[in-house]
Structure 1
Amino acid sequence: MKAVILAGGMGTRLKEYTKDIPKPLITINERPILEYQIENLKNYGIKDILIIVGYLGFKIKEYFGDGKNFGVNIEYFEENQPLGTAGALYYLKNTFTEDFILIYGDIIFDIDVYKFIDFHKANGGIGTLIVHPNNHPYDSDILIVDENQLVKGIAKKNEKRNFFYNNCVNAGIFIFKKDLIDYVLKDKKQDLEKDVVLNLIGKEEIYAYRTTEYIKDMGTPERYELVKKHMESGFIKSRNLSSKQKAIFLDRDGTINKYVGLVYNPDQLIIEDDVIEALKLLNSSEYISIVITNQPIIARNLCTINQLEEIHRKMETILGEQGCYLDDIFYCPHHPDSGFPDENKIFKIHCDCRKPAIGLIEKAVGKYNIDLSKSFFIGDTTVDIQTGKNANLKTILLATGEGGKDNKYMVKPDFYAENLSKAINSILENNFEEVMV
């Protein structure tokens, strides 16, 4: 598989760093952004790289040459006129005989490319793009993705949103079949997402690969300074899914949103007061955040799957508007006991995903390569604590929600905390005495 890197941008918002160099040559630890990209590709056997250059492109050529000094083979395509993020691909029709990776040249990333390729091949669409949540979805294009990870639409950032949405943002890394180039027009400036990918979404040919790995653009001086800190600390490399990940598993009702009994309508969902602060801390830490929740409202026929997901969309929208996010949400729709009025018998079963069973945790482990011995389960009930114990996780019981008064299991947590914010602080500071209640 070959890789294409779009490295023709001027980086106008970073002009203090790009006065005499193209944006992809901005350095971190005295190495250009582009070099980190090439190194990640090389680590996964992708050594044939084509770089599309434009503004001050000769400087990229001077630095990398044919790529031999970097252990790769580099070719170049130079735009004589700006063709956007897609236009130059028209002239590469004869370059590819198979699928290719395409990367925006202004992002820093460290990803397990093998997992990305496997996902793409398993789904078989013309294109797959990497998606993730971010802390500013309100000013980002949001992807509408179904339960099969098929992209159904794009909610553009400059359009008013009068609906709830999942925090699902394109990260700027793609895999395409060579057929994609058939949708690119000759000698016309085109935007890859808005002019090409959007048309393929309508044909149900684009899939979304969700990952917690580190992928950030360098669009502003603030983001550039943040990425520098993350690179220097080793944080970027640690998030590659080839490495074991640390996770904090979170209950939902009584932990993230206020406990009001069964929540089966979005209007019932109210975020706990301390949660925004807690998730902001968690998002900038070495831990990924995953919700594990029982939702018997489906089995009891109080709402549909889509209505439950609308509740989750509201939760993600509120969190995103406040500058934080959850990495993933796993829920169990089942309930083993019959006898409820109008119950949905399809979901009235015994399963391995309803807490305190650990099926959902095992699913998350498989998806994100989680080291349970270095992870936590936080919740407000003895069911949550028993779930954590069953999975050999360290456990924290919160005083919010039911505060452990459900009394369903005779089990003690490893630690107690007044609220989620204090629990997260205790984990990050490795100091649990301050949050004992």
Structure 2
Amino acid sequence: MKTVIMAGGRGTRISSVASDIPKPMIKIGGKPVLEREIECLQRQGFTDIIITVSHLAEHIIRYFGDGAAFGVTISYFIEETPLGNAGSLFRLRDQLTEDFLLLNADAVFDVDFHRFVAYHKAKGGLATLFVHANSHPYDSGLLIADETGRVTQWLAKEDERPRWYSNCVNAGLHIINPVVLDMSGIDAGLISSQVDGSGRIFKVDLDRQILKPLCRTGRLFCYDSPEYVKDMGTPDRFKNVCEDYEKGRITSRNLLNRQKAVFLDRDGTINRYVGFLRNIDDFELLPGVAEAIRQINERGYLAVVATNQPVIARGEVTVDQLREIHNKMETLLGNEGAYLDAIYFCPHHPDKGFPNEVAELKRECGCRKPKPGMLLTAAKDLNIDLQQSWMVGDGKNDIEAGKAAGCRTALIGEEAFGQDVTVRSLQDFLQYLP
């Protein structure tokens, strides 16, 4: 699979860090950002690379050459005049004959690309976007997707968004079928001439003109992963990325590596316990929870919710209503700089006799705590080392599920259920994390 890396931007926002070299050549840990991208690709066998260059292009071409010294093959497309962040793809159309990776040269990442590609192929879509939760969804571009991962709505930073939304942020890594370019309605001849009918340079915006319209086709998907992807395009972001590199956070999050997680019960652990929560208005974060989850994020643990939701089987809450409750949870956490890497819920309930119960969900299952099914599924999905992970909850079922999965366990409360530690709150639990 070919990889196209877009490296033509001027980098005006980060000029105070380095103004005499292209943004992708700024060093993190002694190596240019672009070199770290190429190393990640090369380790996984993605060695056929096209780099689009423009501003100070000679620095990139001189450093990387034909790529042989880095174990890859590199060719270049030089934009004599700016074509936007997607115009060069039309000029490269003859070389793009099958699905290709499209990456930004100013992104710092370390991800399992084979997992990303496998997901794309399994979905059979025309494009797949790498998405993740971040600490500032309120000012990020958001994708709204259905339960299959199909994108139904694309919200730019400036767009009005729902009151409650999932923390599903476009990270800027893409897999694209070149047919998408042919579907765009953009006259490739104008791209070749670089001038429109009024004599202006013709520029193409990747998100607005190429990808966003795919929402209407049902063939745009999102791939949700907790792996490390961050833009380093401003001085503050560059500083944060350098700190993450020094602490080993970049490479450790690659799902090729075993992850450690804090599994969290929901009711009574994250939000105020009100019995069976049926009304979204009754959802209220407990004091200090957002800060505690933010600390879990920063200490390198995945934050994963595992919650029993028998109200689904009882017919008291629909799956869509539960999703909206969870959207509220993610929005409230995101407003305070915290995020969840995944949410798992069990919709089953073994007891029958409820007026509006859903018959197919009234059964014994392996995912309802105290059984460990949700934790085991998360471990498979996210390559989690359960022995290095914790289950935190406020009840016996949480502790038994954690122990059955092989996790360490923490009870919020005072009773004794064989837990490893007993704490007063989620914030109190942080003392046991390094």
Task: Calculate the TM-score normalised by the size of structure 2.
Answer: 0.94
Deviation of 1:275 after TM superposition, in Å, equals: 0.5
Is residue 307 of structure 2 the alignment partner of residue 301 of structure 1? no
How many angstroms does 1:215 deviate by?
0.6
Give the residue type in structure 1 aligned to 2:252: S
Q: Does 1:365 align with 2:371?
A: no
Give the Cα separation in 2 of the matches to 1:142 and 1:264: 27
- Map 1:14-93 onto structure 2 (within 5 A): 14-93=14-93
Write the deviation string for residues 223-256 of structure 1: whole angstroms up to 9, x where unpaired: 1111112112222111111111101100000000
Which stretch has the larger CA shift, 344-353 or 286-295?
A: 344-353
2:338 and 2:85 map into 1 onto residues whose CA distance is: 29
TM-score scaled by structure 1? 0.94
Report Cα offsets for 1:289-316 as digits up to 9, x if no partner.
1000000111111111100110000111
**Following the alignment from structure 2 to structure 1, what is the Cα–Cα distance between the partners of residues 428 and 74?**
50
**Residue 124 (1) aligns with residue 85 (2):** no
* Uncovered stretches (5+) of structure 2, i.e. residues with no partner: 192-201
Q: Is residue 291–residue 336 contact of structure 2 (8 Å, CA) maintained in 1?
A: no
> Does 2:277 align with 1:266?
no
Q: Is the 8 A contact 1:11 1:18 kept in 2?
A: no
Q: State whether residues 100 and 175 of structure 2, in contact with CA within 8 Å, keep that contact through their aligned partners in structure 1.
A: yes
- Indicate whether 1:154 and 2:157 are aligned: no
Q: Distance in 2 between matches of 1:425 and 1:11?
A: 41
Q: Deviations over 1:94-153 (max 9, x none)?
A: 112321100011111001111111111111111111100001111011100110011111
Q: Is residue 10–residue 18 contact of structure 1 (8 Å, CA) maintained in 2?
A: no
1:415 pairs with 378, 399, 421, which one?
421
Query: Is 1:140 the counterpart of 2:154 in the alignment?
Result: no
For 1:155 and 1:247, locate their aligned partners in 2 and report how far apart those are by CA, in whole Å: 30
Please tell me whether the aligned partners of residues 181 and 210 of structure 2 are also in contact (alpha carbons under 8 angstroms). no
What letter corresponds to residue 60 of structure 2 in structure 1?
I
- Aligned residues with identical type, % of pairs: 46
Show CA shifts across 1:307-347 (max 9, x none).
01100001111111111110010001110001223222221
CA displacement, residues 351-388 of structure 1 (integer Å, 9 cap, x when unaligned): 11111111111111111001011000000001100111
Q: Please give the secondary structure, in 2, of the residue aligned with 1:17.
A: coil
After TM superposition, list the pairs within 5 Å mapping 1:196-275 onto structure 2.
196-275=210-289
Aligned length: 420
Aligned to 2:3: 3
Q: 1:162 Cα shift?
A: 4.2
Query: 1:358-437, aligned counterparts within 5 Å?
Result: 358-399=372-413, 404=415, 411-428=417-434
Letter in 2 for 1:415: V
Q: Is the CA contact 2:167–2:330 (under 8 Å) kept in the aligned structure 1?
A: yes
- Return the letter of the residue paired with 1:5: I
More displaced 10-residue stretch of structure 1: 88-97 or 179-188: 179-188
Moved more, 341-350 or 113-122: 341-350
**Which amino acid is the alignment partner of residue 372 of structure 1?**
L
2:194 aligns with none
Query: What letter is aligned with 1:423?
Result: F
Farther-moved stretch of structure 1 (343-352 vs 261-270): 343-352
1:332 matched residue in structure 2: 346
* Superposition map of 1:181-200 within 5 A: 181-184=181-184, 185=186, 186=188, 187=191, 188-200=202-214
Query: Would the alpha carbon gap of residues 355 and 137 (structure 1) be closer, same or farther in structure 2, given more than 3 Å must change?
Result: same
Shift of 1:87: 1.1
Q: Distance in 2 between matches of 1:321 and 1:11?
A: 28
Q: Which runs of 5+ in 1 are unaligned?
A: 405-409, 429-437
Q: Structure 1 CA distance, aligned partners of 2:183 and 2:58?
A: 29
